[in-house]
A and B are shown apart, each in its own frame.
Chain A
Amino acid sequence: MSEQEKPKKPKKPRIPRQKMPEQDALERAGNFSEVALGYSDDIAKVEAERCLQCKKPYCMKGCPVEVEIPSFVEAVKAGDFMEAARIIKTTNSLPRIAGRVCPQESQCELTCVLFKKGKGEACAIGRLERFVADYAATHGEGKPVDLPKPTGLKVAVVGSGPAGLTLAGQLITKGVAVTVFEALHELGGVLVYGIPEFRLPKAIVRAEVDELAKLGVQFKTNWVIGRIETVDDLLEKRKYDAVFIGTGAGAPTFLRIPGENLNGVYSANEFLTRNNLMKAYLFPQADTPIARGRKVVVFGGGNVAMDSARTALRLGAEEVTIVYRRSMEELPARAEEVHHAEEEGVIFKLLASPLEIMGNEAGWAVGVKCRQMKLGEPDDSGRRRPVPVEGETFEVECDTAIVAIGNAANPLVPSTTKALEINKWGNIVADLETGKTSKDRVWAGGDIVTGAATVILAMGAGRKSGLSMIDTFGLG
């Protein structure tokens, strides 16, 4: 803080950042209902009061989809929630989802002046976005968007995750016919198979998809591009003017340690898919089973690891332990998710690296052997590299182990598309500003380009590709 600023007194009394009402930790650890309950009208208005309405809104620079944050917050303050929703939806077609799963603390709220000046906590932009979008959804969504005349152009979107849905929403309002192809039987990609109900209720994803369908977006489920037809088929045989590939980071990474193929060992993808997409938590009302472990170990420290651990708790595990090779400080998961996991009783075994999963004769996992680590010098990522403490190992008992150490690109689409440049990790090479790939009329964005990242970055990539297509087609 500079000396000159010191005498200036805040004009308004300092309002504290409004807390998010939540389900009680012990109660929620036994159910799959949403943890965060959302702001009320009154709390939202109070929180909106806190916004400084900066002339240069740094918060917007932190937003991958450039939501006009000060304007929508101002509308909330005035109590015009429908107007606030309209402003958000101009650039973000999935605000109910973004309001729930965006890492706001490292984006808009990180650059919020209230926080930056060290004066206190950032305006709760994410919570306000969620409030506004939910309000609009339950109060009739306002006036339907006027659709322009069809341009005659048609675009195929491969993958119905956040990137594809965002782009579809953008193009349909420009008079472009959009068909989204999805491999699974439900629409939403990672939003339905990956993120648990207690963080993002599936009914919300369905409602957002329904909105797009109402605008005219066509959806085709159970349609695996790369098998039933290729991207080249879409362009050449089916005469799509352009294709957007947003197939995500769908291939699970395993540890490559002994015992990894024992029964009871899951990739986080499988564990979460069984539970979220297939509703295994309702078994036997739903037919898909899942191992309901008594003692569960989760490897990894990201949001997916937190989701897996908290899901295992809700399935009735007595003890859930997260094994992560660095310390709490390097844990890549959102602080809020870590906090929620701790509150619910997840144990954190830090500075531990798995060496082997031990099994019994029937082929079931019974425990994990880990190596004690310590932090060494920083590596390329700037984080201190974990190094083993020689000779120090320990065992953790478990009957279920979940590997949540990341996902790689699924090769199905990249490997079946002619002349599409791919990097050494199998990701599609695309311009990060436009989404353009090495192949004419093909755009790509989201995790298939960047490697596993966040929902909002995928939405941002979808949006940039959408803008680039609009520009290319001359629809601006």
Chain B
Amino acid sequence: MFEILEIGRIGPGVDRAVIQAPEIARAHNPGQFIILRCHEDGERIPLTVADADAEKGTITLVWQEVGVTTYYFGSMQAGDCLQDLCGPLGTPTHIENFGTVVGIGGGIGVAPLYPITKGMKAAGNHVISIVGARTKELLNMTEEMGNVSHELLIATDDGSYGIHGFVTQVLQDLIDKGTKIDLCVAIGPVPMMKAVCNVTREADLPTVVSLNPIMVDGTGMCGACRVEVGGKTMFGCVDGPEFDGLKVDFDLLTKRLAMYKGPELVALNKFKETSRGCQCQIPEATA
């Protein structure tokens, strides 16, 4: 059941795993996510699917170690099985031939952006991808992104790789150059998506963002994932995860994401005291 076929580090605190999940792989569409539980007492956490291979019956997940569950997942080995894996969930990305689509991925957000970019390219769009991270080591999936984009622009905040600057500046440059853009898709940390939307709002560009609110069931049953879009309360899990970025209340999302900050730290510290959580045996990052 849900065997981990491959698992490994792809950057500092960033892991990637390939999971045996034939039915999910077959049913998955870009933009959708899964919910997993690592063990019997584990949380349910949502992760957007980074890739799905219907033929091999596998899905690929990429995550950053931030809390007890992502750390635990990172400590699992090939051959281990996830306790639960549920998906695909969420409304798939609306993919059609829009013309020119700019995909903007920040940090770990590149993972969920990848299947969308792939789908957009397959639908006949001219795809420009802007991939950014704080520093070179935190860039991930750039090669894969290059394969599914007509143009790939890479930026780092500290200038250690590619263009020196934020993804928003790269986007602004494209706009200033007069590039015809029909749709932007931005996925990344909340401040990045907010900043991108500030740019695209000015330029009057339709922008889709993929939100990552806290979830429990992922089927519209609990409402933990409430987000406000255009003043309306919506559920991230069923109405989303993708929304009209120009209408999203990002400040509310930021506050709601911090709801369990205290308990999350308690749980993480407790995990780190266990033998599984002891980080001293885990090899250094090999980015």
A complexed with B: yes
Chain A residues in the interface with B (C-beta under 8 A): 183-185, 193, 221-224, 227-229, 250-252, 254, 256, 260-261, 263-264, 266-267, 269-270, 273-274, 278-279, 282-289, 291, 362-363, 410-412
Distance in angstroms between the alpha carbons of A290 and B233 in the assembled complex: 22
* Docked-complex contact B68 and A221, CB < 8 angstroms: no
Asked whether A286 and B256 contact (CB < 8 A) given A221-B84, A250-B220, A261-B226, the answer is no
Distance in angstroms between the alpha carbons of A363 and B43 in the assembled complex: 24
Interface string of B7-51 (1 = CB under 8 A from A): 000000000000000011001000010000100011110000000
Task: Across the interface, name the chain A residue whose C-beta is closest to B91.
Answer: A227
Distance in angstroms between the alpha carbons of A254 and B223 in the assembled complex: 9
* Docked-complex contact A251 and B263, CB < 8 angstroms: no
* Docked-complex contact A269 and B37, CB < 8 angstroms: no
Distance in angstroms between the alpha carbons of A285 and B41 in the assembled complex: 7
* Docked-complex contact A410 and B221, CB < 8 angstroms: yes
* Docked-complex contact B270 and A284, CB < 8 angstroms: yes
Interface string of B238-275 (1 = CB under 8 A from A): 10000000000000100110111001101100100000
A-B contact pairs, 27 of them (CB 8 A): A183-B217, A185-B44, A221-B84, A222-B84, A227-B89, A228-B24, A228-B27, A250-B221, A254-B223, A260-B233, A261-B228, A263-B259, A267-B222, A267-B223, A270-B216, A273-B216, A279-B41, A283-B266, A284-B267, A287-B43, A288-B43, A288-B216, A289-B260, A362-B255, A363-B258, A410-B220, A411-B238
* Docked-complex contact B23 and A228, CB < 8 angstroms: yes
Residue in contact with B263 in the complex, picked from A227, A278, A284, CB distance below 8 Å:
A284
* Docked-complex contact A261 and B252, CB < 8 angstroms: yes
- Inter-chain contacts of A229 with B (CB < 8 A): 27
B107 proximal to A (CB < 8 A)? no
- Inter-chain contacts of A291 with B (CB < 8 A): 259
Distance in angstroms between the alpha carbons of A384 and B252 in the assembled complex: 38
Distance in angstroms between the alpha carbons of A285 and B39 in the assembled complex: 12
* Docked-complex contact B221 and A269, CB < 8 angstroms: yes
- Inter-chain contacts of A287 with B (CB < 8 A): 41-43, 68-69, 267
Asked whether A228 and B87 contact (CB < 8 A) given A261-B233, A287-B43, A289-B263, the answer is yes
- Inter-chain contacts of B222 with A (CB < 8 A): 252, 267, 269-270, 273
- Inter-chain contacts of B209 with A (CB < 8 A): none
Nearest 7 A/B pairs, CB to CB: A363-B255, A289-B263, A270-B222, A222-B86, A185-B84, A267-B223, A287-B43
- Inter-chain contacts of A227 with B (CB < 8 A): 27, 32, 87-89, 219
B77 proximal to A (CB < 8 A)? no
Distance in angstroms between the alpha carbons of A228 and B260 in the assembled complex: 30
Within 8 A of A (CB), among B41-93: 41-44, 68-69, 83-89
Distance in angstroms between the alpha carbons of A264 and B224 in the assembled complex: 10
Distance in angstroms between the alpha carbons of A469 and B178 in the assembled complex: 65
* Docked-complex contact A252 and B84, CB < 8 angstroms: no
Asked whether A412 and B220 contact (CB < 8 A) given A227-B88, A287-B267, the answer is yes
Distance in angstroms between the alpha carbons of A65 and B32 in the assembled complex: 41
* Docked-complex contact A185 and B37, CB < 8 angstroms: yes
> How would you classify the secondary structure of chain A's contact residues: helix, strand, loop or mixed?
loop
Distance in angstroms between the alpha carbons of A204 and B233 in the assembled complex: 37
Asked whether A185 and B83 contact (CB < 8 A) given A269-B221, A285-B41, A412-B238, the answer is yes
Distance in angstroms between the alpha carbons of A238 and B84 in the assembled complex: 23
- Inter-chain contacts of A411 with B (CB < 8 A): 220, 238
Distance in angstroms between the alpha carbons of A266 and B216 in the assembled complex: 12
* Docked-complex contact A282 and B41, CB < 8 angstroms: yes
Task: Across the interface, name the chain A residue whose C-beta is closest to B252.
Answer: A261
Task: Across the interface, name the chain A residue whose C-beta is closest to B251.
Answer: A363
Task: Across the interface, name the chain A residue whose C-beta is closest to B270.
Answer: A284
Task: Across the interface, name the chain B residue whose C-beta is closest to A285.
Answer: B41
* Docked-complex contact A278 and B216, CB < 8 angstroms: yes
Closest Cβ of chain A: how far from B65's Cβ, in Å? Answer: 14
- Inter-chain contacts of B256 with A (CB < 8 A): 261, 263, 363
Q: Which of A227, A283, A287 has the most CB of B within 10 A?
A: A287
* Docked-complex contact B27 and A289, CB < 8 angstroms: no
Distance in angstroms between the alpha carbons of A356 and B32 in the assembled complex: 35
Within 8 A of A (CB), among B137-177: none
Closest Cβ of chain B: how far from A237's Cβ, in Å? Answer: 12
Closest Cβ of chain B: how far from A7's Cβ, in Å? Answer: 60
Residue in contact with A410 in the complex, picked from B27, B219, B267, CB distance below 8 Å:
B219
Distance in angstroms between the alpha carbons of A274 and B219 in the assembled complex: 14
Task: Across the interface, name the chain A residue whose C-beta is closest to B85.
Answer: A222
Closest Cβ of chain A: how far from B188's Cβ, in Å? Answer: 22
* Docked-complex contact B84 and A274, CB < 8 angstroms: no
- Inter-chain contacts of B44 with A (CB < 8 A): 185, 278, 288
Closest Cβ of chain B: how far from A183's Cβ, in Å? Answer: 5
- Inter-chain contacts of A261 with B (CB < 8 A): 226, 228, 233, 252, 256
- Inter-chain contacts of B252 with A (CB < 8 A): 261, 363
Distance in angstroms between the alpha carbons of A266 and B260 in the assembled complex: 13
* Docked-complex contact A254 and B27, CB < 8 angstroms: no
Q: Which of B221, B222, B226, B252 has the most CB of A within 10 A?
A: B221
Task: Across the interface, name the chain B residue whose C-beta is closest to A251.
Answer: B220
Given contact pairs A228-B87, A273-B222, A287-B41, a sample of 11 additional A-B residue pairs in the complex whose CB atoms are under 8 Å apart: A185-B86, A221-B84, A223-B86, A252-B223, A261-B228, A263-B256, A266-B223, A284-B270, A362-B255, A410-B219, A410-B221
Closest Cβ of chain A: how far from B270's Cβ, in Å? Answer: 5
Distance in angstroms between the alpha carbons of A224 and B256 in the assembled complex: 26
